[in-house]
Amino acid sequence: EEQLEPDPSKKTLVILGSGWGAVSLLKKLDTENYNVVVISPRNFFLFTPLLPSCTTGLIEHRSIMEPIRNILRHKKATVKYYEAEATKIDYEKRVVYISDDSEIKGDVSHTVVPFDMLVVGVGAENATFGIPGVREHSCFLKEVGDAQKIRKRIMDCVETAVFKDQTDEEVKRLLHMVVVGGGPTGVEFAGELQDFFEDDLRKWIPEIQDNFHVTLVEALPNILPMFSKQLIEYTESSFKEEKITIRTKTMVKNVTDKYIEAQVTKPDGTTELERIPYGLLVWATGNAVRGVVRDLMEQIPAQKDSRRGLAVNEYLVVNGTENIWAVGDCAITNYAPTAQVAGQEGAFLARLFNTMAKTEAIETELKKLSVAQQEAKGDEERNHVFEEIKERQRQLRRTKQIGPFQYSHQGSLAYIGKERAVADISWLSGNIASGGTMTYLFWRSAYLSMCFSARNRVLVATDWIKAKIFGRDVSRE
């Protein structure tokens, strides 16, 4: 039977976010043990690894979204969901302030949610390093809306470039697609974009053939710093073949509506400021801390030295608190901010919370049993209760055995265009580093199997087949 009102005998567990961390926690959490409340402005889970493919229409964005309501309705006990943004967490008062930022608002659009336990899984925002013009002129690549915006702009640039009487210089600018940030996001996007050009655009609009050009700009001496040297070289040579230009040691300092200004370090060590005109600019320089997280950090003295996010202990408890946990990109651990890490952290917390609830139940029972032991009449009854107590104590030891969080790295995988992928995979204690078409097939099947639901898998596979047969859809809505 569904229970709709919160149970006063249970603790309230509030979960912020509906991304990798929060959803993997929800998947494994036994929701009967707590009054669970989920708060996120985004009412769906997003399978981010395939987001770069949405920018060209290879995959339709809805194929990689899963409604949070569909996830929650399969849980044993009712979970409350509020489509809202957490604007402030008050650590002392144990409340979260939430705000409905969607278009339709009721009489109440701001309110407070009290918690006994809180999990912060709000992810990160896009880093801009305060570089002027970035927010105004570039596209990010983090959410569905970002991918849609890029998809529209690619076609807008192309159609504007072939506009009647456009000058040569302007055509070149409009067809120059600049990606800033040589991490996996920038690399995967550059690869997808070049594929779009090779597979479809150049056939549909032959006039743009000589001028369409993708450039990847990276401040460091090489791209993909988290991959092995061999795979970096493989990616670089593959990009060369694909005719994607990589500009390393090129640090963007300023962005205007038509060009970026970058500091270029030359082989002799001297630097030069260069203007690079662009039609489309995609900004993928990694993560920054969200305001709501920074505000929480400021309330907790133990967090004063952390910069990049919430410092947590080995059980993912936010340092300086005892009832707040953090998962994913907003938490600082020894691991990279990836979906793989966030997913494992969420699953770990589910196990931890399930165990905590079991432990508490056993402890309550032990208390009852010790009273029963004192009140027992006769040896036989006393012995019986004593045996029960021993059994419960054994159970307690067993359940309490949950160790600290340990990340198990399944490997890094990235698509690099032209039906090639790179993979650093640690299997059977040896490291397999590979690149190429087989890796690409592996990449496809791995990502397909990682999709949230069977529904998502069918949709993604269908999108791939559709694009293969009919090409990508270039209409701009």
Question: Which residues of this protein are in contact with ligand FAD, per CB under 6 A?
Answer: 16-22, 39-42, 48-49, 51-52, 85-86, 121-123, 141-142, 185, 290, 292, 328-330, 337-340, 342
Task: State the minimum distance, in angstroms, from the CB of residue 140 to ligand FAD.
Answer: 8
Decide: is 205 part of the binding site for ligand NAD (CB under 6 A). Answer: no
In this chain, which stretch among 79-87, 179-187, 399-407, 434-442 interacts with ligand NAD, using CB under 6 A? 179-187
Binding mask 392-431 for ligand NAD (x = CB under 6 A): --------------------xxx-----------------
Q: Rounding to the nearest 10 degrees, give the CA dihedral for residues 326, 331, 336, 340.
A: 20
Least distance CB 406 / ligand FAD (angstroms): 17
Minimum Å gap between C-beta 352 and ligand NAD is 24
- Residue 212 φ then ψ, to 5°: -65, 130
Report the residue number, 33 or 344, with the smaller CB distance to ligand FAD: 344
Query: Which residue minimizes CB distance to ligand NAD?
Result: 183
Report how far residue 113's alpha carbon sits from residue 37's, in angstroms, rounded to the nearest whole number: 9
| Number of residues engaging ligand NAD in binding (CB under 6 A) | 28
Is 191 among the residues that bind ligand NAD (CB under 6 A)? no
Residue 29 contacts residue 21 (beta carbons within 8 Å): no
Residue 86 interacts with, from ligand FAD, ligand NAD, none (CB under 5-8 Å by kind): ligand FAD
Which lies closer to ligand NAD via its Cβ, residue 188 or residue 192?
A: 188
Rounded CA-CA distance 324/25 in Å is 14
CA distance 329 to 153: 28
Select from 19, 181, 279, 320 the one that contacts ligand NAD (CB under 6 A). 181
Burial of 457 (0-12, 13-18, 19+ CB in 10 A): middle
Tokens linked to 7: 């149970």
Q: Is 217 in the site for ligand NAD (CB under 6 A)?
A: yes
Rounded CA separation 257/289 (Å):
26
Among 328, 337, 343, 435, binds ligand NAD (CB under 6 A): 337
Cα gap 68→53, rounded to integer Å: 22
The number of residues making up the chain comes to: 477
Site string for ligand NAD, 32-51 (x = CB under 6 A): -----------------x--
Backbone angles phi, psi at 246, to 5 degrees: -105, 125
Choice from 19, 182, 309, 328 touching ligand NAD (CB under 6 A): 182
Pick from 186, 320, 417, 435 the residue near ligand NAD by CB under 6 A: 186
Query: What's the min distance (Å) between Cβ of 467 and ligand FAD?
Result: 19
Choose the contact partner of 345 out of ligand NAD, ligand FAD, none; CB within 5 to 8 A by kind.
none
Options 232, 317, 336, 396; binder of ligand NAD; rule CB under 6 A: 336
Binding test (CB under 6 A) with ligand NAD, winner from 192, 195, 200, 218: 218
Contact with ligand NAD (CB under 6 A) among 12, 238, 285, 333: 285
Distance (Å) of CA 376 to CA 149, 210, 369, 388, 391: 73, 92, 10, 13, 18
Instruction: Convert residues 351-390 into a mask of x (bound to ligand NAD by CB under 6 A) and - (unbound).
Output: ----------------------------------------
The residues binding ligand NAD (CB under 6 A) are 49, 131, 180-186, 188, 217-220, 225-226, 251-252, 284-287, 336-338, 412-414
